[in-house]
């Protein structure tokens, strides 16, 4: 469902699939510090990268829940993962949910909107991944003065509340980071994979792990 950048490397947000039905979420993490997976680890045997909707086999070693990231599974980087198919795009919309809030909507970071869950609230949660449907969204490209690099965030409305979350899907983030500073509106039905990150100084931060068009 999503290959995204996280501290020290990458994570993959996926769903269990038995060939007929999709099961619960699984965040695939590595054995490195912080659960990082290397770039090579998130490529298949033919060196192509893991992409949204890919169906694949991965060598799971053990469940590694760290509340509220109860979906975490530790996977080996060898043998390489094996792609076995592609999930039908036309069925993706059926997987989207419509929660009343994205875990908690009480606080924001300085640069985001409703993008933070404080530690006490996070301890009460039992999930950290969700898939929601967007009719439209706006990609905000801003400049970070300290590093002189562009930062990419996604602005969207969900149940009449406007969110502004950091984009961490690596391919799209790098592409938009090359754009000029500005706001880019995308009018296209899209499934957005939202992840709630690990603990940090500002609590747990919501990020956009993938934006997957619902139509070709």
* Predicted pLDDT at 29: 95
Task: Give the span between the Cα atoms of 59 and 74, in whole angstroms.
Answer: 9
* Predicted pLDDT at 175: 95
CB 38 within 8 A of CB 75: no
* Predicted pLDDT at 144: 86
CB 196 within 8 A of CB 206: yes
Q: What is the pLDDT of residues 194-211, one digit of tens each?
A: 999 888 888 899 999 999
Overall size of the chain counted in residues:
216
* Mean per-residue pLDDT, 167-189: 95
- Does the pTM exceed 0.75? yes
Task: Give the span between the Cα atoms of 31 and 36, in whole angstroms.
Answer: 7
* Mean per-residue pLDDT, 147-152: 90
pLDDT over threshold 90, residue 143: yes
* Predicted pLDDT at 165: 98
* Predicted pLDDT at 60: 93
Q: What is the pLDDT of residues 36-73, one digit of tens each?
A: 999 999 999 888 999 999 999 999 999 999 889 999 99
CB 131 within 8 A of CB 96: yes
- Residue percentage of the chain with pLDDT more than 70: 100
The residue ranges of DSSP E strands in 112-200, in sequence order, are 116-117, 129-134, 137-144, 149-158, 161-167, 182-186, 190-196
Q: What is the pLDDT of residues 181-190, one digit of tens each?
A: 999 999 999 9
Q: Which of 71, 50, 74, 47 is nearest to 62 (CA)?
A: 74
Q: What is the pLDDT of residues 77-113, one digit of tens each?
A: 889 999 999 999 999 999 999 999 999 999 999 999 9
SS3 content of the chain, % helix, strand, coil (to 5): 10, 50, 40
Task: Give the span between the Cα atoms of 41 and 29, in whole angstroms.
Answer: 10
Task: Give the span between the Cα atoms of 182 and 170, in whole angstroms.
Answer: 19
In CATH, the number for domain 93-213 is 2.40.50
The tokens describing 13, both together, are 């947000």
pLDDT over threshold 90, residue 17: no
Instruction: Name the residue ranges covered by the structural domains of the chain.
Output: 2-88, 93-213
* Predicted pLDDT at 210: 96
């Amino acid at each position: 469902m999503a290959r995204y950048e996280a501290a020290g490397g990458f994570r993959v947000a996926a769903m269990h699939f038995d060939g007929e039905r999709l099961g619960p979420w699984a965040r695939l993490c590595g054995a490195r510090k912080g659960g990082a997976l290397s770039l090579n680890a998130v490529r298949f045997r033919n060196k192509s990268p893991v992409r949204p909707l890919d169906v694949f086999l991965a060598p799971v070693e053990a469940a590694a829940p760290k509340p509220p990231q109860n979906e975490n599974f530790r996977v080996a980087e060898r043998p390489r993962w094996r792609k076995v198919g592609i999930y039908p795009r036309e069925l993706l919309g059926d997987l989207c949910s419509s929660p009343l809030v994205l875990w908690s909507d009480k606080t924001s970071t300085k640069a985001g909107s409703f993008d933070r869950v404080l530690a006490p609230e996070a301890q009460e949660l039992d999930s950290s991944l969700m898939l929601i449907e967007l009719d439209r969204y706006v990609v905000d490209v801003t400049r970070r003065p300290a590093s002189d690099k562009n930062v990419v965030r996604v602005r969207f409305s969900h149940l009449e509340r406007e969110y502004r979350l950091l984009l961490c899907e690596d391919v799209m983030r790098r592409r938009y980071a090359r754009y000029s500073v500005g706001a880019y509106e995308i009018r296209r039905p899209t499934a957005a994979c939202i992840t709630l990150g690990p603990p940090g100084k500002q609590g747990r931060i919501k990020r956009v792990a993938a934006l997957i068009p619902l139509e070709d």
